[in-house]
Structure 1
Amino acid sequence: MSKNPTALPPWESMLKRIVWKQLGDIQNKKILDFGSGIGVTADYLGKNNDVIAIEPNEESVAARWTNNQYTQMIGSVDRLCEFADETFDFIICHNVLEYTEDRADIVREFARVLKPHGKISIVKHNRAGRVMQMIVLLNDFEKANSLLSGNDGMASKYGAIHYYEDADIENWCPELTITQTRGIRTFWDMQQNQEIHKDAGWQEKMIEIEMRVSDKKEYQDIAFFHHLILAKTN
Structure 2
Amino acid sequence: MDFKILNKKNSREKNMTKQENYYAEVFEKPWGRMFYDLLFPQLLPNLTKDSKILSFGSGFGRTETFLEEQGFEVTGYEPDVEKLEMMSDQTFRQLTGTFDDFAETVKNERYDVILIHNVLEYVLDRKVVLELLLSLLTDGGTLSIVKHSKYGSMIEMAAGRDNPQAALDVYENEAVASHNHGDILVYDDDWLTDFVANYKLKLQEKFGIRHFYGISQNAEIKETENWYQPMLKLEQKVAKDQTLYPVARLHHLIFKKTKENLL
**Once the 2 structures are TM-superposed, how far is the Cα of residue 84 of structure 1 from its aligned partner?**
4.6
Corresponding pairs, count:
231
TM-score, length-scaled by structure 1:
0.90
Question: In the alignment, which residue of structure 1 is the partner of 2:215?
Answer: 190
Written as runs of structure 1 = structure 2, the 5 A alignment for 1:1-20 is 7-20=27-40
- Indicate conservation of the 8 Å contact 1:186/1:210, yes or no: yes
SS at match of 1:143: helix
Question: In the alignment, which residue of structure 2 is the partner of 1:156?
Answer: 179
Q: After TM superposition, which residue ranges in structure 1, 4 or more long, deviate above 4 angstroms? A: none
Distance 1:76 1:33 in 2: 15
Could you list the runs of 5+ residues in structure 2 that have no partner in the other structure?
1-22
**Once the 2 structures are TM-superposed, how far is the Cα of residue 45 of structure 1 from its aligned partner?**
0.5
Higher strand residue share: 1
* 1:224 aligned residue (225, 249, 262): 249
Question: In the alignment, which residue of structure 2 is the partner of 1:38?
Answer: 60
Question: In the alignment, which residue of structure 2 is the partner of 1:82?
Answer: 105
- Relative to structure 1, the CA distance from residue 55 to residue 20 in structure 2 (aligned partners, 3 Å threshold; closer, same or farther) is same
- Relative to structure 1, the CA distance from residue 91 to residue 6 in structure 2 (aligned partners, 3 Å threshold; closer, same or farther) is closer
Distance 2:236 2:174 in 1: 30
- Relative to structure 1, the CA distance from residue 152 to residue 219 in structure 2 (aligned partners, 3 Å threshold; closer, same or farther) is same
SS at match of 1:230: strand
Identity of matched residues, %:
29
- Residues 68-107 of structure 1, C-alpha deviation per residue, up to 9 Å, x if partnerless? x311111353213422556111111110000011111111
The more displaced of 193-202 and 33-42 is: 193-202
> Are 2:114 and 1:94 equivalent residues in the alignment?
no
SS at match of 2:243: helix
Question: In the alignment, which residue of structure 2 is the partner of 1:119?
Answer: 142
Distance 2:236 2:141 in 1: 24
TM-score, length-scaled by structure 2:
0.81
- Indicate conservation of the 8 Å contact 2:74/2:92, yes or no: yes
Written as runs of structure 1 = structure 2, the 5 A alignment for 1:129-148 is 129-148=152-171
The more displaced of 221-230 and 104-113 is: 104-113
- Relative to structure 1, the CA distance from residue 171 to residue 77 in structure 2 (aligned partners, 3 Å threshold; closer, same or farther) is farther
- Residues 158-217 of structure 1, C-alpha deviation per residue, up to 9 Å, x if partnerless? 111011111222333311222211100001123342111112342232222111111111
Could you list the runs of 5+ residues in structure 1 that have no partner in the other structure?
none
